[in-house]
């Protein structure tokens, strides 16, 4: 049982793996979002943090008397970041309570009254979720979202979260217009968890796949050094397909300028 949220079973995609040390058992993200705990964290690598044991014990003791405004139970270790607001909640209760938890440092959380609102003005048109193809309603809400780049791609929050879990940070783009930068920032701000991982459909133990990821697959490779030559920037920088990541191209081989941040292979286009 997680000693922070008190739940024996929770969605590990949202709460993170269960960690155990020094007699303390807690979900990784419950630790990161616990009020005042992250400011004492020590970074051990990308997405890896250590917390002073005495601080964790203090948070657990304080939370014993703090009740979740969503479910009413105790051990609510996450408090809204809005100054003067004392609404607290469990991480597994965040979606039900329409709270926003931002899964990036400094791991801020907000209750439904003070959560950030999207400033995107959707363009007129179809309001069907382009992931599940079901209606999303006629306006934005906590449960519905719009791409900030094209402003025409609508999706349910739950559909986008599932999409992010499978795509990972490498292939996470708008399913409609394929834009990455604005879309990534908007989704992170609005509380979508985007794992620092490769997409779920790629396995690291495939030699054939690994070889394809390090070479140019353009029909005509123009690089003097051949398809295997890859540089960190410039004409011979390799871009992987933003949808499948199974094919790549040198910038020059697909007429991609320095400003291009993504590319899609012919099979996915």
Report pLDDT digits (tens) over 213-231: 688 889 899 999 998 899 9
User: Is the bond leading into 216 cis (omega within 30 degrees of zero)?
Assistant: no
Residues 6 or more apart whose Cβ sits within 8 Å of residue 91: 4, 5, 10, 14, 15, 27, 29, 30, 33, 78, 101
* Per-residue pLDDT, 206: 47
Total residue length of the chain: 269
**Does 100 lie in the same domain as 126?**
no
**CATH number where 96 lies:** 3.30.40.10
DSSP state at residue 229: -
* pLDDT score of 243 more than 80: no
**Does 147 lie in the same domain as 97?**
no
**Does 105 lie in the same domain as 25?**
yes
Residue 5 lies in a domain: no
Q: DSSP string of 18-78? A: EEEETTEEEEHHHHHHSTTTGGG-EEEETTEEE--HHHHHHHHHHHTT---TTT--S---E
* Per-residue pLDDT, 223: 93
**Does 183 lie in the same domain as 214?**
no
Summary mean pLDDT of the chain: 86
**Does 258 lie in the same domain as 171?**
no
* Per-residue pLDDT, 109: 96
Final residue of a structural domain among 63, 90, 110: 110
* pLDDT score of 22 more than 90: no
The residue that leads in pLDDT, 260 or 256, is 256
Question: Mean pLDDT, to the nearest integer, of 154-165?
Answer: 94
Final residue of a structural domain among 171, 201, 231: 201
**Does 101 lie in the same domain as 152?**
no
Domain that holds residue 242: 203-269
The total domain count for the chain is 3
**CATH number where 132 lies:** 3.30.40
Residue 222 lies in a domain: yes
pLDDT digits (tens, 9 = 90+) for 49-91: 778 888 889 888 888 889 999 999 998 999 999 999 999 999 9
**Does 106 lie in the same domain as 49?**
yes
How many beta carbons lie within 10 A of that of residue 256, not counting itself? 17
Residue 3 lies in a domain: no
Residue 2 lies in a domain: no
**pTM of this prediction?**
0.71
**Does 150 lie in the same domain as 68?**
no
pLDDT digits (tens, 9 = 90+) for 172-210: 999 989 898 999 999 999 999 998 888 887 755 544 444
**Does 142 lie in the same domain as 105?**
no
* pLDDT score of 115 more than 60: yes
């Amino acid at each position: 049982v997680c000693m922070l949220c008190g739940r024996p079973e929770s969605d590990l995609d949202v709460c993170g793996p269960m960690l155990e040390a020094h007699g303390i058992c807690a979900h990784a993200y419950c630790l990161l979002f616990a009020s005042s705990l992250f400011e004492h964290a020590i970074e051990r690598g990308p997405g890896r943090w250590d917390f002073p044991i005495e601080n964790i014990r203090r948070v657990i003791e304080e939370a014993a008397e703090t009740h979740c405004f969503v479910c009413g139970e105790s051990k609510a270790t996450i408090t809204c970041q809005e100054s003067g607001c004392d609404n607290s909640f469990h991480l597994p209760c965040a979606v039900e309570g329409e709270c926003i938890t931002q899964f990036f440092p400094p791991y801020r959380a907000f209750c439904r009254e003070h959560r950030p609102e999207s400033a995107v003005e959707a363009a007129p048109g179809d309001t069907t979720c382009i992931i599940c193809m079901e209606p999303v309603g006629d306006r934005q809400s906590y449960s519905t979202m719009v791409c900030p780049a094209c402003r025409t791609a609508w999706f349910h929050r739950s559909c986008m979260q599932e999409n992010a879990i499978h795509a990972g940070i490498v292939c996470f783009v708008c399913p409609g217009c394929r834009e990455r930068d604005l879309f990534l920032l908007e989704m992170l701000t609005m509380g979508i968890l985007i794992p620092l991982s490769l997409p779920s459909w790629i396995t690291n133990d495939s030699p054939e796949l690994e070889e394809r990821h390090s070479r140019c697959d353009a029909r005509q490779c123009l690089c003097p050094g051949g398809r295997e030559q890859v540089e960190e920037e410039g004409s011979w920088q390799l871009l992987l397909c933003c949808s499948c990541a199974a094919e790549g191209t040198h910038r020059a081989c697909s007429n991609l300028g320095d400003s291009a941040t993504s590319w899609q292979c012919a099979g996915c286009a």
